[in-house]
Amino acid sequence: MSDIDSLVSVNGVNDERVLEEDYLNDERRVTIGRWGRLKYWIRRNLLSRDRSGESWQGYGIPLYELNGEGQEVGGTVEPVATFVYRHSNKIPWRLIARFMGLSGFFVITAFLIFGAIESGPGKGPVSTSSFFDPYVRYSNGTLDFFPLTVMVSLDGFHPSLISKKYTPFLYQLYTLEYDGNVTSTPFMIPCFPSQTFPNHWSLVTGKYPRDHSIVSNVFWDADLKEEFYPGQLDPLIWANTSRPIWQVLQTAFNHKSAKEFPFKVATHMWPGSEVNFTGLPQIPAERMPYYIDAFDVNEKLEKKLDKVLGYVDIDSIEKRPQLILSYLPQVDAFGHKHGYPINDPENEKFGKFTQVLGDVDSFVEGLFEGLRERNVMNFTNIVIVSDHGMSNIEFPKHVLIWEELLDKKLIKDHIEHAYGEGPMMAITTKDSGDVNEIYQELKKSLANQGELGSNFKVYLNGNFPEHFKFNDLTNRRIAPIWIIPEPGYAVMSQKFAKKQRSNLIGNHGYDNHETDMRSLFIGAGPFFENGYVEPFENVEIFDMLCDIFGVAMGDRLGDQQDSFFYKKMLQQPLVDDFESLRGKYGNGTAYNVIWGGEEEDTSTSTSTSTSALSSTSTSSTSSVGSTSASSTSTTSAASTTAGWLDDLLHDAKELLDDLVDEIQEIAEDIQHEIK
């Protein structure tokens, strides 16, 4: 649904059933478990009292359940009652019994808690995810903070580019050797087409390109009669796309009395975030991030890191953004020009590429260290993603020229647009009746190319493979004819071919399930548990961000389901063609070390990162763990057990606080009854 359509309204709920309906019966109840239901029962029954005469809001009502005046949706605020205690000579046995029962429960619970603390695990990573609360103010010792999340996209970064030799900090994260909570996955699955703009929009909307309408890097909008391309900022084109995470968050936490957004999002060069909608009154202000940094291809990583951390350094809790999105194009930009020569130390560009990798690694390390120096890690989550991988192409050996596939007159008379979509070609005819003729001519032409032509296929919209999730005959932004090659091959225009200066180039856009197109996911911070999750589609990132900030399903502006991918821990050994991956990415990649049992490359890198982004000493590393899949699973299980214990202790302490308050109130009531 586009922003031109009306916004989804948020229905009020009865204040006495907020917890029951919005929490226990929500889809997220699968993460509550028995302990959560026990906590709820205790608070609802054991600690419940008649508060009909008090001005009181239920325990734990989320911020998004408040109306425009800051009051609970569906609730009422009654005047505070004046309690008149009448003299009675009757001994209040029921109150005394309740007092004794609660006191006994308090003593037993305290005994169990302190016993658990004394006998708890003394070694290994202890999960603190249970202590993360999206509605609580935190402090770094100097300033108050709401919870923070920083998501960084490394454009074109394939997970097999991670190695101990060239990206040591990412290696720590990906192998779970980092001293902190880290959730990772062998790889994340991008959307088709595996290109930058459609996938960055999928990351922040939770929709496939056919559904969010940024269908490729370049396309023709038949309704607006306008071309889309990277850098196109026409708000009319972007208004007809799905709502991004910054609009969802800024809307969910907004209320009428606020002078500015209570929840603020900052985007630093995130594709699609700098569109200005102020000239379109039908588009709500929340559609634009509160802070926006425009794309700057020449920006140095040092400056980028300063900018991201600068948002964290804002003194005012009201002005500081809670979600920061940043984008790094360096790896992708290199790959397009020279491919990924990571498997060929003799390649003249090998040293330069490993330096680029080192610079990006230093940026990520600098981000972690900068946040640690600011003492905000206990309430900050860091998400590292990429949009796709890259495939090396031998030029001109594995390249077809588009203009040579059809007769010139046929192109002139029947083709309206032919866009190079990375290694692919998307073709729009002047008349829909010409589609089949062009389709058949292209198939014949490719058949005449011999072995080279066998690596290319022609598809019609409606006949794409199902796993593309791209078929939509009603979407006029999707070209009716596509030429799609196998990885390692490309079709391009004569003009583009003349610009190539290397016999090894790189590109992406292929079948999103191809090994070369895999993308990266690493989540670190109090929201996450230690361990690996099953590979998942990148559209799940949107719901994860909503979960981090506690946004109810009804406030996600059209989203209907949440997969909770970050809870689906990897159970089975990973089966893959590790020999093929070794041939593409070299020896000692983190992926092959963890999942293929390959030995680490312990040799020292000869290239050094010139960024020096970490502002203090390098982060300490934990002891190197076993690289086998079985030992990884054991570590994950151990940390999960520790996380469960922490969860129990933390929540039990909360209940003790409630018990103390309840006992004090009962004691006061007893005193008044006896008087």
Residues in the chain: 675
In angstroms, the CA 148 to CA 146 distance is: 6
Torsion of CA 117, 532, 612, 351, to 10 degrees: 150
Is 196 labeled as catalytic in the residue annotation? yes
Could you give the dihedral angle defined by the CA atoms of residues 652, 654, 658 and 659, in that order, rounded to the nearest 10 degrees? 30
The phi and psi torsions of 650 (rounded to 5 degrees) equal: -65, -45
Neighbour-count burial of 51, counting CB atoms closer than 10 A to its CB (0-12 exposed, 13-18 middle, 19+ buried): exposed
CA dihedral for 169, 175, 178, 181, sign (positive or negative): positive
Alpha helices in 43-145 (DSSP H): 93-119
Q: Retrieve residue 62's tokens.
A: 């989320």
Gap between the Cα atoms of 119 and 225, Å rounded: 70
340: CB partners within 8 A, 6+ apart: 158, 161, 353, 390, 392, 506, 584, 585
Compute CA 578 distance to the chain's CA centroid, rounded to the nearest angstrom: 27
- What lies within 8 Å, CB to CB, of 211 at 6+ separation is 242, 472
Marked catalytic residue, from 175, 196, 205, 267: 196
CA angle 399, 400, 402 (to 5 degrees): 140
Find where tokens 């009716």 sit.
480
Partners of residue 426 on adjacent β-strands: 419, 482
Q: Note whether 425 and 418 are within 8 A (CB).
A: yes
Nearest Cα to Cα of residue 129 among 663, 644, 478: 644
Q: What are the residue numbers of the active site? A: 196
